[in-house]
Structure 1
Amino acid sequence: MSIQQVSSFASGQWIAPGAGARHIASAITGEVIATAGNDALDVQAMLDHARSVGGPALRALSFHDRARMLKALAGHLNQHKQALYAASFDTGAIQSDHMIDVDGGIGTMFVFASKGRREMPDGQVYLDGEVEQLGRTGSFLGQHICTSLQGVAVHINAFNFPVWGMLEKLAPTLLAGVPAIVKPATNSCYVTELAVRLMLDSGILPAGALQLVSGGLGDMLDHLGMMDVVSFTGSAHTALKLRSNPVILENSVRFVAEQDSLNGSILGPDAVPGTPEFDLFIKEVSREMTTKAGQKCTAIRRIIAPEGQVEAVIGALSARLDKVVIGDPRLDTTRMGALVSAGQKRDVLEKAAIIGQEATRVYGDPDNFTVDGADGDKGAFVPPMLFHCGDPDNAQRVHDTEAFGPVSTVMGYRDVDHAVALVNKGQGSLVASVITRDPAVARQVAMGAGAYHGRLYFNNRDSMKESTGHGSPLPHMVHGGPGRAGGGEELGGIRGVMHYMQRTAIQGSPDILSAIGQTWVPGSTEIKGPAHPFTRTFDELAIGETLNSPSRTVTLDDIEIFANFTGDTFYAHMDDDAAKRNPFFPGRVAHGYLLLSFAAGLFVEPNEGPVLANTGLDNLRFMKPVSAGDSIKVRLTVKKKTPRNEEYGEVRWHVTLSNQEDEKVAEYELLTMNAFKAN
């Protein structure tokens, strides 16, 4: 069998393994299948290439350009995922594990591509929060903006998800406009190398946007500066060693860590045998123990059940684990493959022995189990192992020792507060789950355990058909956790992009803020267009283009006709004496929605044109009542423009209604879809 040479991609060149290369063995057979590593990589040149070539190219693109790039990359990988599946079997993973890794990674890229188009501007500046008025008149304002870091992101990934682990970091990094140097774990780097080759060969990425280190990083971290980011997934021991690097400390290099986690799952007191919740709990725990052979940072390590249900949990879980076929991951009948390496197998057995000092193994014997289609002695196979801790309050190792494999410990709790205390003894986790249908139990756990866990996952018969599972980080939600889990956050939608951007407070006049953020700020210069703005296409409209309408007087007949037509006969509109007793009104007043209708009549252009649809309004406020005899007028200003596709884009209009005294009576933002100019 030929041995694969796993290359690095540095400064635009593929570099084969060299001095310092190490062998990689198949998790199935124990035979050497690849070599990776090269101590001669010029890490400074790689950093310079990323900063001087990749960074400027990415920053020249808008967020929407980068989002389209991510979508194209995800689509390209999706066309070649069968090759990624085939390359992954020697990691010990079965086909369903590959789908979590490969399809999950591709799906994450698609989500960030979508969020980039929907939630970020078609520019290079992201506005973080609303404008703050810093002076009395509004001529001096402040706002927070986020711009791309002008450095490089170094991604150090774990062995268990060679594709997803890379893509879930890479997607927000590229969307932020920052180049990345990816360093996968050596044991599975041959899968990552294939994914990187596919992306680079697609021609979608600009030069310098992505580089790969297959093997060790050398002294790369010693060359990082204030604009760089390190994002790490792995053990707490390694994270501490890396983040303690003097250069990282001295230069305040951002360090995002996702590390060891003693995740727990609580069986609610209402989830007794015979209920859908009990069955769901057993299914979730079994799946988390055996998916990826338990090599998941989110896997359930501690099973926390009511003391009266511990035996039932052990019995039901053991019966389900009996059905798990361990074997060659290439076989369709296999339900759990091997650990990634012989070294990982030794580590898991050593950690299981430590747990065994405080707990009794009640299922799974590593010295006596069956492996289908493979040699259990040559491959890195272990069986699922279930322990029972009878005294979890006085135990320590079951709460601080993670056997990174199919190993979990059952323990009993007296009441919900006790369950919370036990799940928190892990000193910080990525996820804790609660299987309950009792909202009061869910709230009690959330209030007591929320501060100790990055994610709380609640499930029951009502949500289980759509739920994604205890162990599934989603790109929409934060993935990370406090304390032992590393104190970092990844994913979480646009929150994940912010790790690779600098938040800056800007202060100045309305015109200055409008120019920087490419969003019109009230008080800045208004532009008079050459024609009614509703007759102008998306690309013709300018930020700040304004229409000032004529006035319209509101009559008592208007108010009464609107009330009778709509059925809104609220007393403030119909009973003068009752309205006067209300501290907000001088007497009968016009309906707020009547004012909005009149406003539309004042600014609308009724003929067919580029305005395709009114899609809603945001931030509506009524500031001053309007009585019969008052008049209103409208100022309509183009606040922001966001392309949506090749045919049209969203225009956000700032709308202000004023009375005859030029006092604001209402304010809101109108959203329309406007066509582009025909070619």
Structure 2
Amino acid sequence: MTVETTITAGGTPPISEAARRAIPAFARSGDRQMIIGGRRVPAVSGQTLPNTDPTTEAPLASIPRGGAEDVDIAVRAAQKAFTDPTWSGIDPAVRGRILLQIAAVAEEHAEELATIESANMGGPITMTRQMMAVAAQTYRHYAGWPTMLGGHTVPMPGNRLGYTRREPLGVVGFIWGWNGPMVQLALTLAPALAAGNTAVLKPPEWASLTTLRFAELLDEHTDLPPGVVNVVTGPGREAGESLVRHPGVAKIAFTGSTAVGRHVHEVASADLKRLTLELGGKSPVVVFADADLEVAARGAAVALLAGSGQACVAGTRLIVADSVRAEFTERLITAMAGFVVGDPLDPATMMGPLAARPHFERVTSWFDIAAQEGARTLTGGTRYGDHGFFVTPTLLGDVTPDMRVVREEIFGPVGALMGFTDIDDAIARANQTEYGLAASVWTKDLATAHRLAAGIDAGTVWVNTHHEMTTGPMPFAGFKQSGIGGEGGPEVMDAFTKHKAVLIAL
């Protein structure tokens, strides 16, 4: 489909008044409350934090400013729910049934939750609707696991019986990103609940409203026992730090930047908490001369611009065969110009605003850094409009591997394009990063595809596609500075369980 670009430097993103009025009442105004032990409660301090619509910069509903006291109350509620036993000792088939109920809530209330998410963090409504569908499918996938988490018998000599038990960890703390809260939460919460753990959720400060509404819906429409899922909102340095430090938390599942992930790792190691860290990326998009360049250019534009580039797997390093680099660059710029920028609640929008002012200011600061380093702006490189946190889709050329714009995660719609000579050079350039989360390869040659899949040091390698995530069957894990542990696949159940050996003298 060809779309006419709405991107004009200094223009104003079209804001649909009808779409603005479509924001659910839960998100529009008022003071929302946390969910702890099945009860709606304010922060112990009574303080709140504003949430802002990144499209209009208008205020949305406020959230409680939770801190250490709130985290302690939530952890105690989760411990009670785990040990009563209302959850860890429940019939596994019942746990599976409740996970199906959670999936049904995600499906039946998908439009409300997707709309809140778009209003709160700026993702296009078409994207947040798809994210809700993926979230529902994820809970449904893990609903089949509770009855399959068995141990095994071990051959022993003489009158000895040996067997293993697979048991839940206890209370798990969840901290995750604002660039897709509902789907990110599902990828870790679903397997944790399937294994019999209880949860304390610390949603992203800039985009907490969907999590609070989802928790309310679970309380109203499922048989989830009180205290199994608790929500404490607040800043990461207060509520998040307290959750990581709390001695009653057995594991932290964290999704966010590598810098914060390193801090979480350091703090959690004090009492040897288990950790899953899904961190940043600087993913390469490798385009070979034999690729369908038009398809590859459209795919690369999606890899770079989906979610306004606010994705850990965003394809921000575009590595193109020298022989077709000029042609590909023209096609890519055209594809980027076709990304309609505007109101995320308008179904025609393909790219909304960045999530919050601090992040907007950080991303736009990279334009000066790029210029100072000698990079050439091929397209974009400006703010878009005079209100809201919009940035033009941006492509940089004349870059070298040592430049910060090539090495560091910008987390916005800013890509750097460079060339390569042959397969070995392509692999070397793809791996010339501290990150190792994802990559995509564009080629018609099966041998080339397999060589790159084996040679690129990243947890996920896509061929002739990008941004495709499964709802549980396949693992998703980062290498190098992109994380520890992973999500998805049968392996994820090991991240939320412990194995106990039992030996009996008969």
Per-residue deviation, residues 559-614 of structure 1 (Å, max 9, x unmatched): xxxxxxxxxxxxxxxxxxxxxxxxxxxxxxxxxxxxxxxxxxxxxxxxxxxxxxxx
Aligned to 1:126: 150
Q: 1:495 aligns with which of 488, 491, 496?
A: 491
| Greater C-alpha radius of gyration | 1
Between the aligned partners of 2:483 and 2:219, the Cα distance in structure 1 is: 31
Query: Is contact 1:260–1:402 with CA below 8 Å preserved after alignment?
Result: yes
**1:322 partner amino acid:** A
Q: CA deviation at 1:352?
A: 4.3
Aligned to 1:379: 388
Q: Tell me the TM-score normalised to structure 2 length.
A: 0.87
**2:50 partner amino acid:** H
After superposition, the CA RMSD in angstroms is: 2.3
Between the aligned partners of 1:72 and 1:154, the Cα distance in structure 2 is: 22
From the superposition, tell whether residues 270 and 63 of structure 1 become closer, same or farther in structure 2 (CA, over 3 Å): farther
What's the secondary structure of 1:127's corresponding residue? coil
Between the aligned partners of 2:197 and 2:214, the Cα distance in structure 1 is: 19
What's the secondary structure of 2:143's corresponding residue? helix
Between the aligned partners of 1:352 and 1:6, the Cα distance in structure 2 is: 37
**1:484 partner amino acid:** Q
From the superposition, tell whether residues 352 and 111 of structure 1 become closer, same or farther in structure 2 (CA, over 3 Å): farther
Between the aligned partners of 1:153 and 1:334, the Cα distance in structure 2 is: 37
What's the secondary structure of 1:58's corresponding residue? coil
Between the aligned partners of 1:324 and 1:57, the Cα distance in structure 2 is: 49
From the superposition, tell whether residues 417 and 88 of structure 1 become closer, same or farther in structure 2 (CA, over 3 Å): same
Aligned to 1:266: 286
Between the aligned partners of 1:390 and 1:223, the Cα distance in structure 2 is: 45
| Pair 1:60 & 2:89 matched | yes
Query: Is contact 2:56–2:387 with CA below 8 Å preserved after alignment?
Result: yes
Relative to structure 2, which stretch is displaced further, 309-318 or 471-480? 471-480
Unaligned runs of 5+ in 2: 1-24
Query: Is contact 1:163–1:191 with CA below 8 Å preserved after alignment?
Result: yes
| Pair 1:404 & 2:411 matched | yes
Query: Is contact 1:390–1:412 with CA below 8 Å preserved after alignment?
Result: no
Query: Is contact 1:267–1:435 with CA below 8 Å preserved after alignment?
Result: yes
Between the aligned partners of 1:433 and 1:81, the Cα distance in structure 2 is: 30
Query: Is contact 2:74–2:231 with CA below 8 Å preserved after alignment?
Result: no
Between the aligned partners of 1:198 and 1:487, the Cα distance in structure 2 is: 32
Between the aligned partners of 1:37 and 1:352, the Cα distance in structure 2 is: 35
| Pair 1:236 & 2:258 matched | yes
Aligned to 2:459: 454
| Pair 1:485 & 2:482 matched | yes
What's the secondary structure of 1:264's corresponding residue? strand
Q: CA deviation at 1:141?
A: 6.3
| Pair 1:312 & 2:334 matched | no
Q: CA deviation at 1:472?
A: 2.7
Aligned to 1:50: 78
Q: CA deviation at 1:203?
A: 3.4
Query: Is contact 1:349–1:403 with CA below 8 Å preserved after alignment?
Result: no
Between the aligned partners of 1:38 and 1:391, the Cα distance in structure 2 is: 43
Aligned to 1:190: 209
Query: Is contact 1:155–1:231 with CA below 8 Å preserved after alignment?
Result: yes
| Pair 1:92 & 2:106 matched | no
Aligned to 2:14: none
From the superposition, tell whether residues 397 and 141 of structure 1 become closer, same or farther in structure 2 (CA, over 3 Å): farther
Between the aligned partners of 1:21 and 1:407, the Cα distance in structure 2 is: 34
Q: CA deviation at 1:490?
A: 1.2
Query: Is contact 1:54–1:207 with CA below 8 Å preserved after alignment?
Result: no
Unaligned runs of 5+ in 1: 370-375, 460-466, 513-679
Matches within 5 A, 1:278-677: 278-356=293-371, 357=373, 359-367=375-383, 369=384, 376-392=385-401, 395-449=402-456, 452-459=457-464, 469-492=466-489, 494-508=490-504
Per-residue deviation, residues 527-574 of structure 1 (Å, max 9, x unmatched): xxxxxxxxxxxxxxxxxxxxxxxxxxxxxxxxxxxxxxxxxxxxxxxx
Q: 1:162 aligns with which of 181, 188, 196?
A: 181
| Pair 1:175 & 2:180 matched | no
Query: Is contact 2:485–2:495 with CA below 8 Å preserved after alignment?
Result: no
What's the secondary structure of 1:410's corresponding residue? strand
What's the secondary structure of 1:126's corresponding residue? coil
Q: CA deviation at 1:229?
A: 0.7
What's the secondary structure of 1:256's corresponding residue? strand
Q: CA deviation at 1:340?
A: 0.8
| Pair 1:82 & 2:78 matched | no
Between the aligned partners of 1:378 and 1:175, the Cα distance in structure 2 is: 44
Between the aligned partners of 1:179 and 1:260, the Cα distance in structure 2 is: 27
Between the aligned partners of 1:396 and 1:484, the Cα distance in structure 2 is: 18
Per-residue deviation, residues 103-140 of structure 1 (Å, max 9, x unmatched): 121121112224x27xx43xxx5236xx55454x7x65
Between the aligned partners of 1:448 and 1:331, the Cα distance in structure 2 is: 41
Between the aligned partners of 1:252 and 1:68, the Cα distance in structure 2 is: 33
**2:355 partner amino acid:** V
Query: Is contact 2:399–2:416 with CA below 8 Å preserved after alignment?
Result: no
Between the aligned partners of 1:223 and 1:322, the Cα distance in structure 2 is: 48
Q: CA deviation at 1:270?
A: 2.5
Query: Which has the bigger relative contact order, CA under 8 A and spacing at least 6?
Result: 2
Per-residue deviation, residues 505-541 of structure 1 (Å, max 9, x unmatched): 44457xx8xxxxxxxxxxxxxxxxxxxxxxxxxxxxx
Per-residue deviation, residues 34-72 of structure 1 (Å, max 9, x unmatched): 222334643222212111224521112233322221111
From the superposition, tell whether residues 481 and 39 of structure 1 become closer, same or farther in structure 2 (CA, over 3 Å): closer
What's the secondary structure of 1:453's corresponding residue? coil
